[in-house]
Structures are given as structure tokens and as C-alpha cells.
Amino acid sequence: MRSRCPRCETENRPVARFCAHCGLSLADGVDGTRRPGRVAHPDPSPVPEGFRLCEQAPDLYYRIESAFGGEALLGTEGLRLTVLNVGYSLCRVVLRLRGVNKKRAVCLDVQRTIESLPRGALVNLDVASYEITAPLHVLRVFLETAEYAHEGEDRQGGQR
Ligand SMILES: [Zn+2]
């Protein structure tokens, strides 16, 4: 059983921990698969204060701000999410934003696609107030799907 790299398709030796061609980690990801965005980078870049981990994505973080600037108080006001990738460079990243009110009823459920999310990049996503149907109490952000960006980018430990 050879071990195929999910990014560059190189067939690696079954015991290989990293792809011999592009350097991708061949460990299983948070969901037990090697799908893009699920596999942790062995050397993630630092995470600034105030960022929280996205669900189902070991190297994606987000921070919430008010759409008007400053720290967000969850409620019905529009939000700005800043998404940070500290792991492998990704593209076509589909995130799901799901919020509930105090009675645990869903009052926000939207998807956002980020076309390009290289390692170290910060990308802003806006949620308009009309998308939030009742005062938000808890917001969850999780990864639905993603694709690896061009192979080889992470070969030198991810530095560009
Ligand atoms: Zn590879």
C-alpha cells in the first residue's frame, strides 16, 4: 500500500510521514481524513491574541469584530470576521457560520467562500445585520471544504 499525497498525488512509501515531493504532512487530519484544511501543519505560524480556532480545521482561526469597528458584542449588529490561516496554504475555503440565540434557536446560518487563503493571510468576511434574525448568543465557525493551493509552497517550512 503506497501512500498518495492529497496535494500533489505523489505516491509515497507507506511509512512516510511527509510527502517526498511537496513536503505535505501525511498524518490524518482532525476528522480522520487527509482532506485539505483538516491536516495540521507541523510548524504553524504564531496566532495573535484574540483569535479563536475554527471547528474542524486545526490551523484556521478567526476573530470577531463589530461591522462598525471595535470589539463585537454579539447581538443583531453586523459582524466582521477576520480569518487567519497558520497552516498549509489553501484556496476555495468554504466556511460555515452558525449562530444561536439564548434559547438555542438558529438565528444565523450562512456560508462564505474565501478564494485564496495562503499561509499567514488574514481575510475579512462580513455578516450583514439582516442575516442575523435574532440576537446572537453563541457563534460557531467551521470548515466545510477547502482545496490545497499550489503544491510546493510549503516546501521550505511554509516561508515564502
Ligand atoms: Zn505531495
Instruction: Measure 54 CA to ligand 1 centroid, in angstroms.
Output: 25
Rounded CA separation 125/158 (Å):
24
Residue 4 lies in a domain: no
CATH number at residue 116: 2.60.40
Give the number of domains in the chain: 1
Query: In this predicted structure, which of 63-67, 73-77, 107-111, 150-154 has the lowest mean pLDDT?
Result: 150-154
Q: What is the pLDDT of residue 86?
A: 98
Going from the Cα of 7 to the center of ligand 1, the distance in angstroms, rounded, reads 5
Q: What is the dihedral of CA 98, 102, 103, 109, to 10 degrees?
A: -10
pTM to 2 decimal places: 0.87
**Model pLDDT for residues 29-67, shown as the tens digit of each residue:** 999 999 999 999 999 999 999 999 999 999 999 999 876
Q: How far is the CA of 44 from the centre of ligand 1 (A)?
A: 18
State the Rg of the chain over Cα: 17
- Contact between 83 and 123 under an 8 Å Cβ cutoff? The reply is yes
Inter-residue contact 34 to 148 (CB < 8 Å): no
Q: Note whether 153 and 118 are within 8 A (CB).
A: yes
Would you state the pLDDT for residue 70?
A: 66
Q: How many CA atoms lie less than 13 Å away from 157 in the CB half-sphere?
A: 2
Query: Does the pLDDT of residue 2 top 90, yes or no?
Result: no
- 155: in domain: no
C-alpha cell at 16: 512516510
Query: Ligand 1 centroid to 42 CA: how many Å?
Result: 15
Partners of residue 40 on adjacent β-strands: none
Mean pLDDT across the chain, nearest whole number? 89
**Ligand 1 centre distance from Cα of residue 55 (Å):** 25
Half-sphere exposure of 40 toward its Cβ, with a 13 Å CA cutoff?
11
- What is the share, in percent, of the chain residues with pLDDT greater than 90? 78
**Is residue 32 in a domain?**
no
Structural domain contains residue 118: yes
Q: Mean pLDDT across the stretch 137-146?
A: 95
- 22 is a domain residue: no
Residue 119 forms part of a structural domain? yes
Range of the domain at 51: 43-148
